[in-house]
Amino acid sequence: MRLVLLGPPGAGKGTQTERLVARYNIVPLSTGDMLRAAVAAENAIGKKVKDTISRGDLVPDEMVVSLIAQAIDAPEAKNGFILDGFPRTVKQAEALDRLLKDRGLKLDAVIELKVDEAALLARIEKRVAEHKAKGHAVRSDDDPSVLRQRIANYRKETAPLSDYYQQTGALLPIDGMQPMDKVEAEIEKALQKRVAA
């Protein structure tokens, strides 16, 4: 199974990714996680992207495309993958299409979690509070002003991917405002229908 999960920050992509990974025995590929690991490792990529990430802006397309190309070619991704946080721009989506075509692969579906923007800030604040209560580290970009920037970038750069994948026929829109289990069940139903078709 090869999937893309689209949705703004706070839409619940992380939770649904975990569940899809377990159900289909596929690997999660999150460009955000890869970039945060590079920042933590203080390697060349990390040094280049640190400030961009903390502002809530997008890093250059070529950089994430090359990270994803490597990840897709890794043996662990042979059984399939779920892309979380990639593609984020139409250019990245086009690059992904080429990348998959060159390898004779195809996306099974692009799941879009649709959420009410007004609810996003509240959701992230809840996530931050929960992480803090558990003594976990909090992401530097989970701050209200940076979050507003991330949502604005989503609206401008990433929301157009909904039309892009509608045109390719891959899009599965899901109401992400429902409880997590209900969202999971709807994704499952839509995927089964897709696979059967």
Can you give the binding site for ligand AMP, defined by CB under 6 A? 9, 31-32, 35, 52-53, 56-59, 64, 85-86, 88, 92, 141, 150
- Asked whether the beta carbons of 184 and 19 are under 8 A apart, the reply is yes
Q: Which residues pair with 29 in a beta bridge?
A: 83
In the bound state with ligand AMP, the residue whose beta carbon lies nearer, of 38 and 191, is: 38
User: Cβ closer to ligand AMP: 5 or 174?
Assistant: 5
Nearest approach, Cβ of residue 192 and ligand AMP (Å): 27
Q: Which CB atom, from 28 or from 85, has the smaller least distance to ligand AMP? A: 85
Report, in Å, the least distance between residue 73 CB and ligand AMP: 18
Residue 57 or 194: the one with the smaller Cβ distance to ligand AMP is 57
Cβ closer to ligand AMP: 49 or 187? Answer: 49
Distance in Å, CB of 193 to ligand AMP, minimum = 28
Shortest spacing between CB 196 and ligand AMP, in angstroms: 31
Both tokens of residue 185? 């069940």
Q: Which residue is nearest to ligand AMP (CB)?
A: 32
Interacting residues of 160 by C-beta distance below 8 A, sequence separation 6+: 90
Name the residue nearer to ligand AMP (CB basis): 43 or 192: 43
**Minimum separation from the CB atom of position 87 to ligand AMP (A):** 6
Supply the minimum distance, in Å, between the C-beta of residue 86 and ligand AMP. 4
